[in-house]
Structure 1
Amino acid sequence: MTDLPTAKVRPASNWSAIWVLPLIALLIGGWLGWRAYSQAGIDIEVFFESGDGLQAGKTEVMYKGMPIGKITALSLDGTRGVIATIEMEKESEPHLRANTRFWLVKPSVTLAGITGLETLVSGNYIAVSPADGEPTRKFQALSEPPPMPDDAPGLHLVLKAERLGSLNRDSPVFYRQIQVGRVKSYVLAEDQKTVEIKVFIESAYASLVRKHTRFWNASGVTVNADLSGLKVRTESLASIVAGGIAFATPENRSDSPPTDPSIPFRLYEDFDAAQAGIKITLKLSDFESLQAGRTPVLFNGIQVGTLKALKINEQDPNSATAELTLDPQGEEYLVEDTEFWVVKPSISLAGITGLEALLKGNYIAVRPGTKGKPMRRDFVARPKAPPLNIDAPGLHLVLFSDTLGSLQLGSPVLYRQLKVGTVQSYQLARDKRQVLLGVHIEQEYANLVNSSTRFWNASGVTLSGGLSGIEVKSESLQTLLAGGVAFETTDLKAPVSRKIQRFRLHTDRESAMQAGQEVRIRVDSGDGLRPGTPIRYKGLDVGEVETVELTDDLEGVILSARITQGSDRIARSGTRFWVVKPELGLIRTANLETLISGQYLQVQPGGKVGAPQTDFTALKEAPVQAAREEGLSLVLSASRLGSIKVGVPVTFREVRVGEVTGFELGSQADQVLIRVRIEPRYVPLVRGGSRFWNASGIGVDAGLFKGVKVRTESLEALISGGIAFASPEDSPPARPGQTFPLFDDAKDEWLLWTPKIPIGK
């Protein structure tokens, strides 16, 4: 029998792993309890006059956009109002003090603006502003948001006024129409006679307020009207709606020290009462309908001052001295060449000028002078508007027009219906046939004008139509009333002239934008040439001159022209231009029609074979047409030229068969060489033995017994000169370039030659 091992006996344990779970649960419960205790909110009570907009479990308490509490319950406090029980976060406990303020934020629309707009999405909430004091759990809510604290960065001032006007909390404070602050609050002063208005100026603008700064009420619109006109003043649209305050420092107080915030300022009723402008005196020779306190001072249509006083001079009743008050920001422009003049309406058959003065009454216009000169406070008004000021920044142009139309000083210059300049002067040209307009383009738009720019008169209304209908065009309402000029630039990269540019002012856009090839033609003199001078070919207009200006070296004149017909044949090398002008004389009379129509440019196209070309030099005179044709060229040798000129005829039996094409001295200067060309069909008439003689004038042969014999070739030869020739029988044909002597007279035997020579057809 096998021995079995002896069992080992151990006592049973009383601990079981199941007890671990209750221990863990106990630890978690304790931790949660401690967490709930440590993070438990703080209940406070806030009294509101009304529970409108408050909801338990929804309305939150916000501080700088972060929620720090929520209403847990609402209860009535008898008939006084509502008590809101609010659970605040634990971290807010140090700030729950007696002076801490609560108020309800909800959407509000007033004349001062719209506030609480964000509550339209998130709902009403309670705002809080922490402060000092004893710890407490009960608070009184404000009925409106508290004013800005006096310790906020910036300048805090007190203004005293006789009445509040339309000012309100948050009404803007302006400096030169820029908002630099706002109204904090206002209260009735202790004397019960004035209103104290607390104003906040932002830190960036605090230095603008000096000891002698003056504040005025810029609220709403100030209207002052009578039979002389209507005066309207406002600071901005915001001040019209919500009220506002403006301020400035008088020009004679430029060295005013910084202000003392503890000393209150007076708030004047308006700008005029504040007397914050620059005072100047102006001597006037025309002061019709000007009234103190009514007449404005305008710069480019914007009021920059007011006529404060007007006194007629005792010694000269036809003149007066005016006292003006101008905006302080224009002080630096009151220099030696600043100009003033009176603008009043003028109605005549020629048109209407000063049209705006019909509505606002006569006014004083000002044109600022150049900076850097000594400042002035006394001026003499001009009798009329000043002419073009070529020193003003920007681009100055001269436009040529046949008529002025309804254009006037100040008429706008438009580019794509945007005003970029003005008409500043106009006068008759030297020839009294055209009107010259001085135009100023503002500096920022000067690059829009170059050699490809086209100007046209955009005044009034253009009607065009037919059976299909009527088309009405007007550039703008402004040009409809006061006239205007419009322009368009087809190539913004085209070259620009360095001098004052001169352009043709077309009657309308269609004629201005007429297509064609631009060319430049240099001539020795611009006498009789002007913008609009036609360019003709075979009696038809193929283009016109657009501008006339001197060359850079002042040695010639450049004509900028546009070829509108046949430009592909004309704008090529080989093309020739020349000026056609009237010729009067015993020898030659031509182009008499130009006495009435004026001079014009004649063009002779170069053809298709030439290379494209846009710059040309005009010929000094018309080219000889025969020189370009086929024929027989000959040279005649004479002892003197006589009345022979280029173009005089060469005749055979008094029939014109050629002409003189040129002449020059011989190499030894002992003879004159005359070049002639015989027309192709008459070339066979010239033989090697031909004799040439001068057929000019009248030949007289007289004797005692034979009488008087008078001989002349023809009336044309009598007046302008001529050359005749005769050819014998049985003589060989002449060679091209052959030289013949030119006799003074014809021998009788030459006149008897009657060869039968076939000629061409």
Structure 2
Amino acid sequence: MSDLPTAKTRPASNWSAIWILPLIALVIGGWLGWQAYRESGVDIEVRFQSGEGIVVNKTEVVYKGMPVGKVKNLVLDAKGSNTGVIATIEMNKAAESQLRTNTRFWLVKPSVSLAGITGLETLVSGNYIAVSPGDGEQTRRFKALAEAPPLSDNEPGLHLTLKADRLGSLNRDSPVFYKQIQVGRVKSYRLAEDQGIVELKVFIAPAYANLVRKHTRFWNASGISIDANLSGVKVRSESLASIVAGGIAFATPEHRKDSPPTDTNLPFRLYEDFDAAQAGIKVKVTLSDFEGLQAGRTPVMYKGIQVGSLKTLKVDPDLSSATAELTLDPLAEDYLVAGTQFWVVKPSISLAGITGLEALVKGNYIAIRPGDKGALPQREFEARAKAPPLDLKAPGLHLVLFSDSLGSLEVGSPILYRQVKVGTVQSYQFSKTHKRLLIGVHIEKEYANLVNGSTRFWNASGITLSGGLSGIQIKSESLQSLMAGGIAFDTPTPDVPLKRRVPRFKLHLDQEAANRSGVTVMIKVERADGLKAGTPIRFRGLDIGKVEDVRLSDDLESVMLKARITEVPDRIARVGTQFWVVKPALGIVKTANLETLVTGQYLEVLPAVKNQGPQRNFVALAEAPDRTEREAGLALVLSAARRGSIKPGVPVTYREITVGKVTGYELGQTADRVLIHILIEPRYASLVRGGSRFWNSSGFGMDFGLFKGATVRTESLETLIEGGIAFATPDGEKMGNPALPKQTFALFDKAEDEWLQWAPKIQIGK
């Protein structure tokens, strides 16, 4: 037996350590495969209209500046009806979730246009495909856009919609300006569904979003706006960029600065230009006179300032009128109410001057006069045929003159104060009863204080001619009133208040009619020969009144004169006053009242001495009254066998000097004598004494002798023709006492030689 251990046996194993290495390799390979699968891209197909600018294995897909894919293959599209290319693009796995139906692809390449330069970076890196993620279902097939899509509405900032009648020179990416600073751009544009307007999408950067308010106005700022007239040329442009590429500008009106923020869901109107944006209120006006008006060019004016324009003009079917659509300044909104007036202004040349001169250059225009601010709003009006009457809202004083006739006055005729123009005639029209004219007058504000309750107005038109033997007087207020008519006035009394808001005055025929006041009287005369309206009434050579009207009496037996006494009427229009007609008197030696041959007859008045009460109706005397009792002097009576050629007015002379006159004559009580009344002037009364002798100095006397020849005697040539009385007073005791009033003397036929020798020394009065 052996001591060696017994060996133990185990079955042989099929596993070998060498298999570890392949297993590790398999795990690593699987992991690498998984990694490759996980990091591998997603293949998609994008159809382009053209493969120009796309390079396989070079052209990348870029999103926000980061590459997210690359073109792997490019083939022609054999299936489509339109020729194109299909690019197979391997997109990053991370972008797989964004590959949906509304995801958009487009090729970016350098572009130079009036709006600017885009894709400039591709000059270095080459063209690339841009992508904009969208929503929808997942897909692997896409159609590329022909151009970059508009800015997304999700971009921070303000996104607005503008509506315009036409696009003009606007384009995508055209700038949007605020005070000539670019604050946004045009995103896109398209025709509206009804194809009547253009809708533009606009983006405003976040920093400027608060500038757009509810009442903000947008206008097309493209190109250059030129406005030329006689006053000069006005050129307007928003910026050089807007001239080249077009642009939009916006602003909020001054009176709308408190406007609330805008609602982005509500579109804005895009006006054609700045002026249209300013005048955004539409008004319809029916015109009966539309000659010379042009849509788009005819302005709407208020006191020389343009407040709107004529946008459209449509003639009615009957051709008798037209409907005008006006666009007015928003500032006028509160005044477009009931009572607002429109009318067409044309150039007019008349004696009053040239009106509407500016219309000769820019054509006829439409004028507006706003109504009262508190009236009901209105947007449709009917234009007047001519300028409206008095504008009570114009600064200054407005008044109405009433007259029986217009004369040569017309709208625009001047209102003169001391030959200075202080206002104009604004209108004229008949009164309700058509019996007189109402003339509307405007006095400028700085001259309004010249008119008060005592003011008198008169027609200063044309020339006033007055003449007589002393000469001819020509009077005219001014050259302008001579040609075009005019009204003058004066204010004799200060501080007389006006009684009405719109005062009313009478327009007198002339200055004399305006100045006359006093009392109206009626004078009855037998005949009206030479008497007419304007015939003067005189006292001692001075005009104290004038005849205003001449007419027959009711019984046709006499003529009634309506006269106005303007000087001392209280002394004239009373009981005892006498009137008579002064006519021309012609004689060989003496000629009286010769001026009446030219100027016509006039009335003379002899006021009553005592005040016995007022009187308004008078009967004119047939001839001048006997004023002996009224005149100062020594009244005497001469007794003669016959009157001879003695008559009232013939002179009474002393030493061939007139010292008195004959005042009348009458038959004596027994009719056997003629009593002649004379009046000696007061200063010569002392020449008549008790011994004075009176003789008839009329005619001439002749003494003839065979040896001494013939002697002819006469007092004077005047007494030779018209008659006269002379007297002489003796010397010494024969002189007698001074004559007494009413003392009677004998009137001898001729003088004795002794009387002619008397030459007493008698002191005469002063």
Task: Give TM-score, length-normalised by structure 2.
Answer: 0.37
Asked which structure has the greater CA Rg, the reply is: 2
TM-score (norm 1): 0.37
